[in-house]
Amino acid sequence: MKAVGLIVEYNPFHNGHYYHLQASREAADADVVICVMSGYFLQRGEPALLPRRERTEMALQSGADLVVELPYIFSSQHAEWFARGAVSILNHLGVDTVSFGSEHGRIEPFLNLLDFLQSRRTEYGHHIKEYSSLGYSFPKAASLAFQHMAPGKHLPDLSQPNNILGYFYTKAVNELGSSMSLQTIARVTAGYHDHNLTEADISSATSIRRRLTEDGGTPEAVEQTLPAPVYRRLKNYLDSGSSFYEWEKYFSYLQAKALTLPAALLGEMYEAEEGLHHRMQSVMKRNSTFHEFMHAFKTKRYTWTRLQRFATQVLTGTSKAEAAAAMETGEADHIRLLGMNKNGRAYLNTIKKHVDIPMISSLPKDKTPQQKLDEKAAAAYYLPLPAAERTIRWRREYEEPPLFFED
Residue 101 marked as a ligand binder: yes
Residue 12 marked as a ligand binder: yes
Report the distance separating Cα 319 and Cα 323, nearest Å: 6
Dihedral pair phi/psi, residue 319, rounded to 5° = -85, 165
Residue 341 marked as a ligand binder: no
Residue 19 marked as a ligand binder: yes
Residue 18 marked as a ligand binder: yes
Residue 162 marked as a ligand binder: yes
Q: What is the pLDDT of residue 200?
A: 53
Q: What is the pLDDT of residue 149?
A: 86
Between 393 and 158, name the one with better pLDDT. Answer: 393
pLDDT of 206 strictly over 90? no
Name 202's Cβ contacts closer than 8 Å, sequence gap at least 6: 14, 15, 16, 19, 188, 189, 190, 225
pLDDT digits (tens, 9 = 90+) for 240-289: 989 999 999 999 999 999 999 999 999 999 999 989 999 999 999 999 99
CATH fold for the domain made of 3-103+183-243+332-405: Rossmann fold (3.40.50)
pLDDT digits (tens, 9 = 90+) for 310-368: 999 999 999 999 999 999 999 999 999 999 999 999 999 999 999 999 999 988 889 99
Residue 16 marked as a ligand binder: yes
Residue 8 marked as a ligand binder: yes
Residue 270 marked as a ligand binder: no
- Identify the helix (H) or strand (E) that includes residue 35: strand 32-38
Mean pLDDT, residues 19-33: 97
**Sequence ranges of the domains in the chain:** 3-103+183-243+332-405, 247-321
Residue 306 marked as a ligand binder: no
Q: At what angle do helices 304-316 and 369-381 cross, to 10 degrees?
A: 100
pTM: 0.93
Residue 10 marked as a ligand binder: yes
